[in-house]
Amino acid sequence: MSSLGSVLGESYSPSPLRLSFLKWQCRVRQMAMRDNQGRPDDAITPALFLPHQDQPLGHIITLLNKSPGYSVTPELLHMAKKTNDPAQRRDQAIRFFSATYYQKASEFSDILTATFPPGSPGAASIREAENVRLRFEAYMQMFDLSCKVWRLAPHNPLYQATMAHNRLFNPALPADTEVLGFEPDWNASSMESEVS
């Protein structure tokens, strides 16, 4: 897997699984914004498995970011600067993300991101593993993604987008928050639909 994807925040995989996952993620994230005031649910918080482990290390809150060519990071930063009132900032963010933000799956990077506190032992374990599995299970769908782990530098567009997004919901996010990127290997990943 190339590190170019992590630098640019884009994947060039034509995998049908990639498109199915991005469409599903856009749909469930828009539902979370519209119906659940932006609170993450099981569709957004996969179980994270280290290599050769049957039990998850835990669940992480993932972020789905626009590809750099469709980035709205400047708009998110502007939204954060408009008010010091956390409630107003959150309401504006929910309105923004509930509208048309998640309408076009093709505008999103498949490199998921997650934030961790500075000095997080969990983040250190994940970085050391270099490859992990993320298992999403919700709404009658299961995606098991085999992912390469990247520690994103502050100049990376996905780092900047992640921090801008998360500060709308948590203005006290420390400046030295760690952002990890999870780049799926679509050939080593799978999907199942549960039939009721």
DSSP SS3 for 150: strand
Average pLDDT score over the chain: 90
Residue 1 has pLDDT above 80, yes or no: no
Structure tokens at 10: 């884009």
Q: Which two tokens stand for residue 195?
A: 């039939």
DSSP tag of 66? B
Answer for the pair 21, 143: CB distance below 8 angstroms, yes or no: yes
Judge whether residue 123 has pLDDT over 70: yes
Mean per-residue pLDDT, 88-99: 90
Q: With 0-12 CB in 10 A as exposed, 13-18 as middle and 19+ as buried, what is 76?
A: buried
Question: Which domains does the chain possess?
Answer: 4-36+44-193 (2.30.110.10)
Residue 2 has pLDDT above 80, yes or no: no
Q: How far is CA 176 from CA 34, 65, 134, 161, in A?
A: 31, 20, 24, 15
Residues in the chain: 196
**HEC secondary structure over 15-59:** CHHHHHHHHHHHHHHHHHHHHCCCCCCCCCCCEEECCCCCCCCEE
Asked if the model's pLDDT at residue 4 lies above 50, the reply is no
Candidates 1, 8, 4; CA nearest to 109 is: 8
Q: What is the pLDDT of residue 5?
A: 59
pLDDT digits (tens, 9 = 90+) for 12-41: 677 899 999 999 999 999 999 998 887 888
